[in-house]
Amino acid sequence: MSLLSRFLAPPILSRDEELAAAVEGKVVLVTGASHGIGEALALRLGRVGARVLLAARSQDRLEEVCLAIRSAGGQAWSYPLDLRDSEQIDGVAEELLQKHPQIHAVVHNAGKSIRRSLRKSLHRAHDFERCMGVNYLGPVRLQLALLPSMLECGGGHIVNVSSVSVRLAPAAHWAAYHCSKTAFDLWLGAAVPELRQKNIACTSIYFGLVHTRMSAPTKEYQNMPGQTPEEAASVVCRALARRPRVLQPWWLGPAHWLSAPLEPFTEWIQS
């Protein structure tokens, strides 16, 4: 981790003992668990004794991650899932609840990122549909199906793996991604007052750049300071252990308040 990366996103250390106290023996669902942050998180959860449910589109990769968890003495189950497919979401949710009646925590980590100019999007409305499906509509549908389980077991924890972009002024070329990530963030925020009454904690984690397979196609990001998947997974582990409402880089609070008055200037710069 470079000095600049450490400055922008200081490492958040989460001790295995603290994490185990929160999740050992409990059922934790991680979406987007076949690569990147989700994979690193699933491996860590398995190591401390959580019963890990892994969901992602890639069945082969899910099985590899499950095998790694089991080989280390952990418990893991894989569920192929495309969050753009409503029928599959309903089917997987039903199967999850049949096999694991009590789901204690859900980490909404799956995501789809698209960087494309408006001019190149004129005949690509499906880009927006895909982003909304993976980043918003799919997670909402899945969470609604799993909420009764949390209510019946007296509480739970919902973790939203989000982006600093939802707290900042809009950026050119990122419309599909930003809108969809912001939509789920606002949905969860609106649900917090009701969920809190039922002992269901909600955490939104606003990450800066994390060097994953999803960010790799954007060449501008390749040499920029950012976190590794393992470092980001450690932040999610801190969230699961302590259940804060928000986790974000130290600079995001001031940047959020400045982004509104500076928006005309940032629009001018980007144009």
Active site members: 177
Helical ranges in the chain per DSSP H = 3-8, 16-23, 36-47, 59-71, 86-99, 125-132, 138-152, 175-197, 229-242, 252-270
Query: Which amino acid is residue 112, in one-letter code?
Result: K
Orientation angle between helical segments 138-152 and 86-99, nearest 10 degrees: 20
- Please state, in angstroms and rounded to a whole number, the distance separating the CA atoms of residues 157 and 242: 10
Taking alpha carbons only, the member of 73, 71, 29 closest to residue 49 is 73
- Please state, in angstroms and rounded to a whole number, the distance separating the CA atoms of residues 7 and 68: 33
- Please state, in angstroms and rounded to a whole number, the distance separating the CA atoms of residues 207 and 117: 23
Helices and strands counted in the chain (H then E): 10, 7
Residue with tokens 């949710």: 93
Neighbours of 10 (CB within 10 A): 12
- Please state, in angstroms and rounded to a whole number, the distance separating the CA atoms of residues 66 and 220: 33
Neighbours of 171 (CB within 10 A): 14
Q: What share of the chain is helix, strand, coil (3-state, %, to 5)?
A: 55, 15, 30
Radius of gyration over every alpha carbon of the chain, rounded to an integer in angstroms? 18
